Amino acid sequence: SQQGEEDPQALSIQEGENATMNCSYKTSINNLQWYRQNSGRGLVHLILIRSNEREKHSGRLRVTLDTSKKSSSLLITASRAADTASYFCAPQSNAGKSTFGDGTTLTVKP
């Protein structure tokens, strides 16, 4: 199965700073998605980037994809306390199976 591994495991920043999280995977993918999960809550879809795309923006989010390095990054600019959550990447292969990594726990201090 395709497993995404997020890095770092935990990230603590001050409000207003930028937060960068990375994701690595092992085999070829068709697309990669990033999700956010607040403690005890469900997944919230953030952004999807296709294998033929290199960068995508959505509001304060910027996602990059480097298929040659099998990696992706999620950048949150001008972070807010409400961005505090766990962030997961979900690389998806043609078979459709994805196994999430342990996620990055982001803490934004007010």
Residues 6+ apart with CB under 8 A from 11: 19, 21, 104, 105, 106, 107
Q: How many other CB atoms sit within 10 Å of the CB of residue 108?
A: 20
| Interaction pattern, residues 47-86, with other proteins; x per rule: CB under 8 A | -x-xx-----------------------------------
22 lines the binding site for other proteins (CB under 8 A): no
In the bound state with other proteins, the residue whose beta carbon lies nearer, of 15 and 43, is 43
100 lines the binding site for other proteins (CB under 8 A): yes
Burial class (CB in 10 A: 0-12, 13-18, 19+), 75: middle
In the bound state with other proteins, the residue whose beta carbon lies nearer, of 15 and 24, is 24
26 lines the binding site for other proteins (CB under 8 A): no
Among 71, 72, 84, 98, binds other proteins (CB under 8 A): 98
Instruction: Enter the tokens of residue 84.
Output: 């505090």
In the bound state with other proteins, the residue whose beta carbon lies nearer, of 22 and 51, is 51
CB distance 23 to 101 below 8 Å: yes
Report how far apart, in Å, the C-alpha atoms of 16 and of each of 29, 32, 51, 68 are: 33, 27, 31, 32
Interface positions with other proteins (CB under 8 A) = 1, 30-31, 33, 35, 40-45, 48, 50-51, 88, 90, 92-94, 96-103
